[in-house]
C-alpha cells in the first residue's frame, strides 16, 4: 500500500471506523501505550511530535506529561482522525482543561515538520511509510541534537494471534484480499527488528534499542464484543469492504470463539517492539 493509498484508506474507510470504535481500541491498546510512555519519558517543558497520532490518545497523554510549559504536535495524514482529535480538544477546553496541542495535517514521510523536537514518538503510527528510510531521515531532521525517538510497532503476525486469527478467517471468506506483508507498508511493516534497526542506523539515528514486549490483550468482554472491535482493523476491515459484514463477521466470530475464557472474555497473545533511539 503506497502512502497515497494509505492516506485514502485512513481518510475514507479505516479512519471513520476507527473513530466509531475509538474508545474500544484505546482500551485494548492502553497497556502498550503505558509501556511506550515509560520508554519515551516525556518531560515537563519538552516539545514533542506524535507521528501518526490519529484521534490523539497518545498526543493527549504526552501533553499532560510535558505540561505546563511544553507542547505536542499531533501529526497525521487523515483529516477524519484529526477532526476527531480537534473535537476532543474542544471538549477538554469546555471542561476547563487546555492541553498544549497543535494539530497538523501532514505526511510525516515527506512534508517538513515543525521542530526541533525534544521527542518524536508514535503509538503504532510509523509502520505505513512506503519509503521508510526517507521517513526516518525526515523525522530525524525535525529532532534536536540529542533528541529522542520512541515508538511501538507490531512484531510478526504469527506472534499476534489477536490480529492473525481473525484476519486469516476474514481473508479466507473474502478471497480477494490478503494478510498484510511484513516487508511492506502496513501494520506489520516494521515486524523485522533487524531490518528496522538497519533503517534507523542508515538514517543517522544512534543508541538504537528494540525491546521485545509480549502480553495478552483483552480483545472483548465477549466474542461479539471482540468481533465488534476487530471489524475496524487491518485485514478484517479490508475484507468487509470486499465481501460485506454479513459474510466476514460470522467467520471471524467462529475463529475467535475458541479463545473465550470461562468468563466469556476473549484474550489473545500480542507481541510488539518498543523502539528507542537518539539523534
- Domain boundaries along the sequence of the chain: 3-158+180-217+270-278
- CA dist 136 and 118 (Å) reads 15
What pLDDT score was predicted for residue 186?
A: 84
The architecture (CATH level 2) of 3-158+180-217+270-278 comes to 3-Layer(aba) Sandwich (3.40)
- What DSSP element (H or E) covers 229? helix 223-230
What pLDDT score was predicted for residue 116?
A: 96
In the structure grid, which three cell numbers stand for residue 71, read together? 507542547
* Strands 266-278 and 206-220, bridge-based pairing: antiparallel
Q: Which residue has the cell 544512534?
A: 206
pTM across the whole model: 0.92
What pLDDT score was predicted for residue 57?
A: 97
What pLDDT score was predicted for residue 40?
A: 98
- Would you state the torsion angle of the CA atoms of residues 163, 169, 174, 178, taken in this order, to the nearest 10 degrees? 50
Q: Are the C-beta atoms of 180 and 168 separated by less than 8 Å?
A: no
What pLDDT score was predicted for residue 18?
A: 83
What pLDDT score was predicted for residue 127?
A: 93
- Would you state the torsion angle of the CA atoms of residues 113, 116, 122, 128, taken in this order, to the nearest 10 degrees? 30
What pLDDT score was predicted for residue 2?
A: 57
Give the mean pLDDT per block of 10 residues along the chain (279 residues): 68 77 90 98 98 97 97 96 97 94 96 96 94 96 98 96 94 79 82 97 98 96 93 83 93 97 96 98
ω into residue 249 within 30 of 0, thus cis? no
Amino acid at each position: 500500500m503506497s502512502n497515497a493509498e494509505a492516506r485514502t484508506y485512513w481518510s475514507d474507510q479505516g479512519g471513520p471506523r476507527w473513530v466509531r470504535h475509538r474508545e474500544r481500541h484505546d482500551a485494548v491498546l492502553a497497556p502498550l501505550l503505558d509501556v511506550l510512555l515509560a520508554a519515551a519519558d516525556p518531560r515537563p517543558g519538552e516539545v514533542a511530535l506524535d507521528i501518526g497520532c490519529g484521534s490523539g490518545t497518545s498526543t493527549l497523554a504526552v501533553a499532560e506529561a510535558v505540561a505546563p510549559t511544553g507542547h505536542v504536535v499531533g501529526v497525521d495524514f487523515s483529516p477524519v482522525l484529526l477532526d476527531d482529535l480537534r473535537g476532543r480538544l474542544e471538549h477538554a477546553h469546555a471542561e476547563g482543561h487546555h492541553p498544549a496541542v497543535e494539530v497538523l495535517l501532514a505526511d510525516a514521510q515527506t512534508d517538513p515538520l515543525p521542530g526541533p523536537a525534544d521527542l518524536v514518538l508514535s503509538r503504532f503510527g510509523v509502520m505505513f511509510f512506503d519509503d521508510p528510510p526517507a521517513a526516518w531521515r525526515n523525522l530525524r531532521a525535525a529532532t534536536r541534537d540529542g533528541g529522542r525517538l520512541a515508538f511501538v510497532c507490531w512484531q510478526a503476525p504469527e506472534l499476534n494471534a489477536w490480529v492473525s486469527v481473525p484476519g486469516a478467517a476474514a481473508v479466507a471468506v473474502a478471497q480477494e484480499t490478503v494478510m498484510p506483508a511484513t516487508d511492506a507498508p502496513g501494520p506489520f511493516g516494521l515486524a523485522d527488528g533487524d531490518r528496522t534497526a538497519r533503517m534507523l542506523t542508515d538514517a543517522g539515528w544512534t543508541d538504537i534499542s528494540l525491546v521485545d514486549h509480549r502480553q495478552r490483550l483483552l480483545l472483548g468482554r465477549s466474542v461479539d464484543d471482540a468481533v465488534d472491535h476487530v471489524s475496524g482493523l487491518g485485514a478484517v476491515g479490508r475484507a468487509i469492504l470486499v465481501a460485506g459484514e454479513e459474510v466476514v463477521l460470522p467467520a471471524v466470530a467462529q475463529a475467535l470463539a475458541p479463545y473465550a475464557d470461562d468468563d466469556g472474555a476473549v484474550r489473545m497473545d500480542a507481541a510488539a517492539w518498543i523502539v528507542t533511539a537518539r539523534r
